[in-house]
Amino acid sequence: MDVSVVIPVYNEVENIIAMYRQVTDVMEQFGRSYEVLFIDDGSNDGGRELMKSLSEQDSRVKLVFFRRNYGQTAAMHAGLQMATGDAIVTLDGDLQNEPADIPMMIEKLDEGYDVVHGWRKNRQDKWLSRKLPSKMANWLISKVTKFPIHDLGCTLKALRREIAQELELYGEMHRFIPILAHQRGARCAEVVTRHHPRRFGTSKYGISRTFRVVLDLMTVKYILDYYASPMKLFGSLGLLCSAAGGASAVATFAMKLIGGVDMTGNPFLLLTIFSLMAGLQFFSLGLLGEVAARIYYGAQSNKNYAVRELVNFDRETLDFASRSRAA
């Protein structure tokens, strides 16, 4: 299989047929073997029956149905793990991404890149609720991670399978795929892609998503710098608190010995006790983090989603995906 097209969907019944036709038309003209994976994230709008009818007509359509709504990150993770193509393309199921950009992104991979991510330079969304928060988040993420990027929120991406299946995605991590892949040594490229206004259905995201992105950014920064050795972070904080406690203790004794100051309720004495206790706690967190990291790297990863049903997947494909995850 040359290309796997992964499409997470949640209550997009009006867009499914059009999305299928656009993707298949583009891939037929592109001339490479392909499969289309619809990852249904617990839809309740009748889209499941529509996707099943497509899978009956076209064996290249493969379906993954979740038991409930787990979120786009879980759906993306499932699609990346189930895909068998040498190149994996991800795009939204709302028809805002342009499937005609897929060949351009695959050809960019052929130049030697491992991840090609889209930039919706002329984004067709509301300015206040979508574009402004996105610009602020992208600027902040680029500064914190030192990864130059214009548009982390663009779902249209192309990845080599070996890179895609190494990624551990949870929370809202799907938007950080280029950064996580870059951390693993992937060569990344950003290309301008087309973007369309939503015609059918309603957006599943609002301005509140910005706060979740900021929280996930903290997690990503921790993963990039301290995931393999948490003691570097917590140990540094512990040393800082211990140094503050030591300095405060010296000041306390000096006040007692030289000035004869009563220590009852002395703020420096309280600061000494607090700082030393905080330092001890940070050292403990660092040790626990080190143990947890060793357990994580030594154990098999667990899935963060549950599948109810698989359609058009043969045993060979499932064994292939299982071997890829184990590797």
Give the model confidence (pLDDT) of 27-50 as tens digits.
999 999 999 999 999 998 889 999
pLDDT at 129 over 80: no
- pTM, whole model, 2 decimals? 0.74
What pLDDT score does 136 carry?
A: 80
Report pLDDT for 183: 85
Q: What is the 3 state secondary structure string of the chain? A: CCEEEEEEECCCCCCHHHHHHHHHHHHHHHCCCEEEEEEECCCCCCHHHHHHHHHHHCCCEEEEEECCCCCHHHHHHHHHHHCCCCEEEECCCCCCECHHHHHHHHHHHHCCCCEEEEECCCCCCCHHHHHHHHHHHHHHHHHHHCCCCCCCCCCCEEEEHHHHCCCCCCCCHHHHHHHHHHHCCCCEEEEECCECCCCCCCCCCCCCHHHHHHHHHHHHHHHHHHCCCCHHHHHHHHHHHHHHHHHHHHHHHHHHHCCCCCCCCCHHHHHHHHHHHHHHHHHHHHHHHHHHHHHHHHCCCCCCCCEEEEECCCHHHHHHHHHHHHC
| C-alpha closest to that of 283 among 217, 219, 211, 235 | 235
Structural tokens at position 243: 């140094």
* CATH fold group of domain 3-226: Spore Coat Polysaccharide Biosynthesis Protein SpsA; Chain A (3.90.550)
| Whole-number Å distance between alpha carbons of 101 and 118 | 9
Provide the percentage of residues in the chain whose pLDDT is more than 90. 41
Q: Which of 188, 192, 191 is nearest to 180 (CA)?
A: 188
Range among 26-30, 91-95, 122-126 rated most confident? 26-30
Segment 206-232 mean pLDDT: 74
Task: Using CB atoms within 10 Å of the CB of residue 57, give its burial: 0 to 12 exposed, 13 to 18 middle, 19+ buried.
Answer: exposed
Query: pLDDT band for position 91 (50/70/90)?
Result: very high
Mean pLDDT of 216-241: 82
Q: Is the pLDDT of residue 95 over 70?
A: yes
Question: What are 279-316's pLDDT values in tens digits?
Answer: 889 888 878 877 776 666 556 555 556 677 788 877 76
- pLDDT exceeds cutoff 80 at 317: no
Q: Domain map of the chain by residue range?
A: 3-226, 231-298
Cα 204 to Cα 18, 194, 196, 217, 327: the distances in Å are 19, 20, 16, 20, 34
pLDDT of 208 > 80? The answer is no
Mean pLDDT of the chain: 84
The predicted structure's pLDDT at residue 297:
54
